[in-house]
Amino acid sequence: MPVISFTLLLLALLVIVIIFRAVRIVKQSTAIIVERLGRFQAAYTAGLHFLVPFVDRVRNVMDMREQVVSFPPQPVITSDNLVVSIDSVVYYQITDPTRATYEISNYLQAIEQLTVTTLRNVVGSMDLEQTLTSRDQINGQLRGVLDQATGRWGIRVNSVELKSIDPPASIQGSMEQQMRAERDRRAAILTAEGVKQSQILTAEGDKQSAILRAEGQAQSAILKAQGESRAILQVFDAIHRGNADSKLLAYQYLQTLPKIANGSSSKMWIVPTEFTAALDGIAGALGGGKDGGPGGGPSGSDGDDDSSAGVDLSGSELDLGIASDLASTSLQAPEEALAQARGEVESASQEASEEPAPKGSAAPKPPAADADDGATVTVPTSDGVEGNHSAHGSHAAGPAEQSGQPGTTVPPRGGGYGIQAQPGYGTPPGAPQGPYGA
């Protein structure tokens, strides 16, 4: 009994081993090569397969997926005799496991050597610059050659990539300098282009600004000139409509001369003929009694009737002939001349008002005048305002002067000038008009 039991146990173990060896499960994307008695029997792919125990044998298990193999860097000489180190990567896939098993002993080593030889052949026909810049071309040529060579082995090369191309250290330094110079050149070009565009835009802006500024200044000058022209025309029309007295214009001109003299470049002033004529008119009006003309003494008065003739200005030396002197010169110092003229006029008026009247020469007063009323003489003052000076004592108006006739002349005394009083000059409206004003 024990022997039979042991035999049955051995048979059971043998059956288990035979079943285990006879049944074979192949995984997905995997193929097995089965040989029977040393000959190729079949190539089994994914699934359940039965083998003859002790007759069939699995020769090889092939991975049918795409595989990647990286080869070590290979020294390659370029056409310009420079040694570069190239590191490549090959992507391949087994399409026929039987041929990959029986056509070549080691397809991986064969692919590596074929890649190296093809790479040296392709790169050897290029110089360094082409090698560095033509990676796509090198990859395409390598793939074509390798795919054609490995096709008979049941292997398809999908792509070949160059991971790195390393030139010698000396060449790398030169290349870095060249690249740096190229980058500097490009940077300089871009900077110059930017400066050019900036200058163009700035110039265009300055041009437009200058044009607009010039147009504005021109328009402003035109409007200013038009305004000044209108103002001058209005003043001119007002002067002519008002029939301004030439003596007043001459006086205003004398007041304006100091302002003209303030200029740093004012060396000489030419007196216009109108101003000269006006000053001559003043001199003629003030000194007409000398020639016995229209401004002379009254026809009904004698030369010894000085007490009743009017204001006696003989002691004051009212030398208003300076106006004629100023009219005949170029007025080198108009302020001094004007101040001198005003001072002499005021001094003469003050002396005439303070001189006592001669005895027995009291003139009858007009009926409408008070005791203090007398003839007024209008003279310019230093502040430019015309003042009225009353004549007292012997300077009161005589009978001939109280007639109210316009243009009555005060006869001179002692070589002085006669003063012709203008009717209504310096008197308020409605006041009685006398030979010297109210």
Place of tokens 């030439």: 246
Cα-to-chain-centroid distance, residue 231: 37
Instruction: Evaluate if residue 351 carries a pLDDT over 60.
Output: yes
What's the burial of 295, exposed, middle or buried (CB within 10 Å: 0-12/13-18/19+)?
buried
Other C-beta atoms within 10 Å of 301: how many?
A: 18
Q: Which residues have C-beta within 8 Å of that of residue 320, sequence separation ≥ 6?
A: 282, 283, 286, 287, 341, 344, 345, 417
CB 71 within 8 A of CB 87: yes
Instruction: Provide φ and ψ at 188, rounded to 5°.
Output: -65, -40
Q: Where are the alpha helices (DSSP H) in 328-377?
A: 334-354
Average pLDDT over residues 114-142: 88
Q: Is 387 helix (H, G, I), strand (E, B) or coil?
A: strand
Q: 334-354 vs 246-261: helix axis angle to the nearest 10?
A: 130
Q: pLDDT tens for residues 162-203? A: 888 888 888 888 878 888 899 999 999 999 999 999 999 999
Measuring CA to CA, which residue among 80, 34, 41, 81 is closest to residue 59? Answer: 34
- Report if pTM > 0.85: no
- pLDDT tens for each residue of 357-381: 444 444 444 443 343 444 444 444 4
- The structural domains of the chain, with segments of one domain joined by +, span 2-63, 67-167, 181-243, 246-403
Residue 69 pairs in a beta bridge with 90
- As a whole number of angstroms, the distance between CA 60 and CA 101 comes to 7
On the CB side of 233, CA atoms within 13 Å amount to 6
Q: Which CATH class is domain 67-167?
A: alpha beta
Average pLDDT for 106-112 = 89
Ramachandran bin of 69, using left for φ above 0, alpha for ψ from -120 to 50, beta for the remaining angles: beta
Instruction: Quote the tokens at residue 110.
Output: 């064969």
Neighbour count for residue 280 (Cβ, 10 Å): 16
- Using the CB atoms, write b or e for 383-415: b if 16+ within 10 Å: eeeebbbbbbbbbbbbebbbeeeeebbbbbbee
Model confidence over 34-70: pLDDT tens digits? 988 888 888 888 888 888 888 888 888 999 999 999 9
Give the Cα separation of 129 and 141 in Å (integer). Answer: 18
Rounded average pLDDT over 413-425:
40
- DSSP alpha helices (H): ranges in 42-92? none
Which of these, 431, 379, 437, 388, lies nearest to 408 by C-alpha position? 437
Q: How many CB atoms lie within 10 A of CB 9?
A: 10
